[in-house]
Chain A
C-alpha cells in the first residue's frame, strides 16, 4: 500500500474546518460522514467555495467535475485522501 503524504485524519480535519469556515452556523457535531454538504445547508455556491478552499489548502489541482458524484462527506474525504497520495 502506498503511504499517503497527508493522513486521512488530517484531511478529515481540514474538511471540517473548511465547512465550518464557509458555514459558520453549522455545529461541528453536525458534520458527520454520512451527510452530504447539502444536508448541512450548503447551497451550490457554498459547495463550490468549500471545494475550492479544500483544493487550495491541500495544494491540489483537480477538475471540479471530479466532485459532482461524491455521495457524502466520507466520500469527499476519501477522494481527497486518494488524490493526496
Chain B
C-alpha cells in the first residue's frame, strides 16, 4: 500500500463541435417557456454523424496521452471506458479507444456500465489500483463517454442532454484532484427510473429519476459522514460538484440538503449555492447532461471557475439511474488550475458552432442511429469540412469513417 497521495493527474472533456440554444428547442418543440427558469440551461451540445462514443472518448483523452513521455504512456496499465452507449454486446468501446490512443499492449482494458454512475465506480477502482502498490507508479485511464438518443419524443429531456466524454488519468501524481482516500459513501437500490432498452430509445420516469437522485444524495452523504467523523454538509466542502441532469435540479438538491442538514435561512441557502455550487454548473449549462461524464465536467467547471490559489476540498456526488450513487471528496489547489488550464476547455466550448433547428433536425436522422449495430456503413465526412476546419484547437481529431463487417474504422483529421 503506497503512502503517496493518489487521485486525478489529468482531466479533459470533449463536448462536441456544435451546440443549439435551449430556447430554440423550446420554441420549435412547443415547450412551455415558463419552465426555462427552473431548468437553468442555456445550450446543449450536438453530435455529428462522424462521431460516436469512441470518437468522443478518444478526442477527450488524446491531449492527455499526447502530453505524456513514451515512458509515462507505457505506465498506463488499465483503461476503463464507462458508458451507457455501448456499441456491441461483447466488444467494448475501450478496445477501439486502446487502439486509437496507441496504448501499450500490456495495458488491460474493459468497459463499465451503470448509467451515469459507472465512471465514478471506475475511478474508485483505479484509485485503489494505484494506491494498492501492486504496480508502483502505474497509471489508470478512465474515460466516461456517451451520446444522447433524445429527440422531440423526450419533451423536456431533449434540451438538457448532450454528447461528450471526460478522460481522467489516475496516478500517484494527482495534479487535478487529490482524492481523500477512504472518504466515500454509497447508496444504491434497483429501480427503473430511466433506461436504454434498445439502441434507439431512451425511457425515463422523470419523477422517479429525480426523486431517486435526491434520496441517493442524502443517503450517500450520510454514508460518507459515517466514514468521516465530523463531516458537516455546510462547512466540510469548499465546493460541490454533482451529477447534473440539469442545473436547476442541482440547485434544488442543494437547497434540500441545506434545509435538512443546516439551519440556514432561504437567503443564506441562495448565497451558499452561488458560492459553493454554481461554479460546478457553468459548463453543464452550456453542454447539457453528458451522462457518465457529467460529474467530471462539474469538477472541471469548478477548477476553471474558481482558479484556486490554495487548497480547497470539493465534494463530488455521482448518480446513475437504476440506481447507484456515491459521494466522495478530494482537494484541488493552484496546480489544478495550471494542469486543467492546459486543456483549454472554455475555449473548446466557446468554439462550437451554433446550429439552426433545421440543421439540428437533419443531424438527428443520422445521430439517433449512432448505436444501432450496422454490418456495413459509410460516413461522408467531406460535407462537414467547414465544421471540422473551424475547430478552436488544431489537435488531431478522430472521426468515424466506415463500418465493415461490424468492424468500425476511424480516421484522424
Contact = CB atoms under 8 A, between A and B. Distances in A.
B38 A68 contact: no
Interface in A10-32: none
Contacts of A44: 38, 156, 206-207, 210, 249
B215 A45 contact: no
Contact of B211 (A43, A46, A49, A68): A68
A45 B249 contact: yes
B215 A63 contact: yes
B113 to A, nearest CB: 22
A65 B208 contact: yes
Interface residues of B, number: 23
B249 A67 contact: no
A57 to B, nearest CB: 13
A62 B32 CA distance: 31
Contacts of A48: 210-211, 214, 252, 256
Interface string B237-266: 000000000001101100010010000000
Contacts of B212: 64-65, 68
B208 A45 contact: no
B34 A64 contact: no
Interface in A28-58: 41, 43-49, 52, 56
A68 B208 contact: yes
Contacts of A68: 193, 205, 207-208, 211-212
B208 A69 contact: yes
B4 interface: no
A52 B217 CA distance: 15
Task: With a 10 A CB-CB cut-off, give which of A41, A43, A44, A47 has the most chain B CB atoms.
Answer: A44
B269 to A, nearest CB: 13
B35 interface: yes
Contacts of A52: 256, 259
A45 B251 CA distance: 9
Nearest to B248: A45
A65 B345 CA distance: 36
A43 B37 CA distance: 10
B191 interface: yes
B38 A45 contact: yes
A42 to B, nearest CB: 10
Given A41-B34, A52-B256, A64 B215 contact: yes
Contacts of B256: 48, 52
A49 B259 CA distance: 12
Contacts of B211: 48, 63-65, 67-68
Contacts of A56: 259
Given A52-B256, A64-B214, A64-B215, A47 B38 contact: no
Given A64-B214, A65-B211, 5 more contacts: A43-B34, A43-B38, A44-B249, A52-B259, A68-B193
13 contacts: A41-B32, A43-B38, A44-B38, A44-B156, A44-B207, A45-B252, A46-B38, A49-B252, A52-B256, A52-B259, A65-B208, A68-B211, A69-B208
Please give me the 9 A-B residue pairs with the lowest Cβ-Cβ distance, nearest first. A64-B211, A45-B38, A68-B208, A68-B207, A64-B214, A43-B35, A63-B215, A68-B211, A45-B252
